[in-house]
Structure 1
């Protein structure tokens, strides 16, 4: 396995050093990038597309902040990694809004929209009219600019050739999930189950809803972007990163996201993978299982302490969310997951609250 070299290229190995980089470099850079995309979104001619683009930036900024933490492991490349991660995550959040609050239930429409994410990580392909199958189509070039920004920055990653097949796999699975989860509610569960049947050999230890959750995370993609900033990245190293993040680290990320969104999703009629457990105890035990599997998986990676911080940071970030205190059952689950937490998790819990309140 390759390791990043030189002092500014080394993975931070303890929480204080990681967060000092986040506060000093990453959060300001993310804010700058999002300010630019907010300006672009505000100029979208179609009112519905403009509304969803602006809403995705306003309500999901923390997705970009969290994803850009990977740039803290290679500060010399942060001028490439931060714009890349923010642009890619902004595409993801924008399309999620378009599909969640869609005027369409056409899976071909959703598939074409998400083709933009596959094109964003494959500079060799041409751009398409991603809105061709929906009524709202005039975004003034917004989505194309996001895709081009990803491609322009990918061109500056010297190890990208080794990472590309594994990134394409993760983005393909992500796109599949977004298509099936947003179709007619009467059809989506059956579509998801059929999709799982085709892939369940990859994750036999997971239930169908847990596999689906794992495909909904962009963390594996961001880690591979980071790895591709090293010219020494090879296929073997990229494969180990892929298998260390998918499915358990990725699955933990999205299961926590769904955990805190249960009340909100019920009101909106949105699919929530935590609702498929028989009871609260089962949900708690399965999330705890995924946590332990994620911890085991990342031990195969160099600088595993950095990836352990990612896991504990996920728990601290989501369990500190204000939505937790608004839901009695989730508040209890959160307390039990935080019980006897390592100091690292408590540290990230406190930092997440501080960032939400003051930054």
Structure 2
């Protein structure tokens, strides 16, 4: 198996080098990409689609900033990776907004909308009218342009054919989750449990809500985009990356997201996977187990220090969120998760605070 030796030398090995690349190259280029998409979104004819597209960019910019960190591991290809990651994440955030605050509760509508994400990573498929099953129709070509931007940049990834089966698997799971978690509230849990029954053999160590959370992360896809920027990538290496990211790193990512959104989701009537734990202590112990699983999994990968920074950066990014200080129980949980934090996590915590305040 090719161990991606060439790319190993490009991975930043310590936090200061990683963040210097992020500040110098990644954040400015993410901002430039999002400015372009904000302008496109502002031209959407349908007022509801325009509102949701603009809101997704305004409130979820940090998703693109975090995802684009992977481009810091191959600066020579960042002009492909940053536009690709930003476009793909922008589709995800836009559709999440459309479904969260939907004028529809139709499972078929949600699946058709998310077909755009599968089409974005499957260049041979034919694009279609993703709004065909909902009232709002005219986005002025916005979603098609996002899909085409993904495709155009994927065409520049020399190792994409090796990564594609693993990417399609992760995007397929993501699509299923988005469909089931947005249907009528009284049907969500039973649909998710039925879906989990089909897949639980893949992650026997996880509870159903943890498996569902793991399918909601785009980090595995972004890591595979990065790997596909290397022409030496083979299918075995892509499978290794998939297995190292799913389920533990992906699960940690989304459980932390749900952890800080509990009050917001309760008010909005949105499903939250952290609410299924019996108590705070159980939740924290399960998240700690998933952190340990993630740390163990990355040891199988080349440049494990880079992926360790991803794990510590996730903890720092979410636990430094302003929402934490506004919720007493989450503030307590954050203190427990940050207790005995390695210096690396504290470093990323301080940087996360600085980026939120100044960028």
Q: Would the TM-score normalized by the shorter structure come out above 0.5?
A: yes
CA contact (8 A) 2:317 2:352 kept: yes
CA contact (8 A) 2:214 2:252 kept: yes
CA contact (8 A) 1:27 1:65 kept: yes
Which residues in structure 2 correspond to 1:110-259 (within 5 Å)? Answer: 110-259=110-259
Rounded Cα–Cα distance in structure 2 between residues aligned with 1:163 and 1:4: 17
TM-superposed deviation, 1:4: 5.3
Rounded Cα–Cα distance in structure 2 between residues aligned with 1:3 and 1:353: 34
CA contact (8 A) 2:116 2:130 kept: yes
Q: Give the paired residue count.
A: 358
Rounded Cα–Cα distance in structure 1 between residues aligned with 2:124 and 2:78: 24
CA contact (8 A) 2:213 2:255 kept: yes
Give the corresponding residue for 1:342: 342
Report SS of the residue matched to 2:6: coil
Report SS of the residue matched to 2:231: coil
Which residues in structure 2 correspond to 1:259-298 (within 5 Å)? Answer: 259-298=259-298
TM-superposed deviation, 1:90: 0.1
- TM-score under structure 1 normalisation? 0.99
TM-superposed deviation, 1:208: 0.2
Give the corresponding residue for 1:24: 24
Give the corresponding residue for 1:331: 331
CA contact (8 A) 2:7 2:230 kept: no
CA contact (8 A) 2:5 2:302 kept: no
Rounded Cα–Cα distance in structure 2 between residues aligned with 1:4 and 1:255: 32
Where does structure 1 differ by over 6 angstroms across 4 or more consecutive aligned residues? none
Give the corresponding residue for 2:66: 66
Q: Which runs of 5+ in 1 are unaligned?
A: none
Rounded Cα–Cα distance in structure 2 between residues aligned with 1:218 and 1:229: 17
CA contact (8 A) 1:4 1:230 kept: no
Report SS of the residue matched to 1:311: helix
Rounded Cα–Cα distance in structure 2 between residues aligned with 1:289 and 1:55: 35
Q: Deviations over 1:256-298 (max 9, x none)?
A: 0000000000000000000000000000000000000000000
Rounded Cα–Cα distance in structure 2 between residues aligned with 1:203 and 1:68: 27
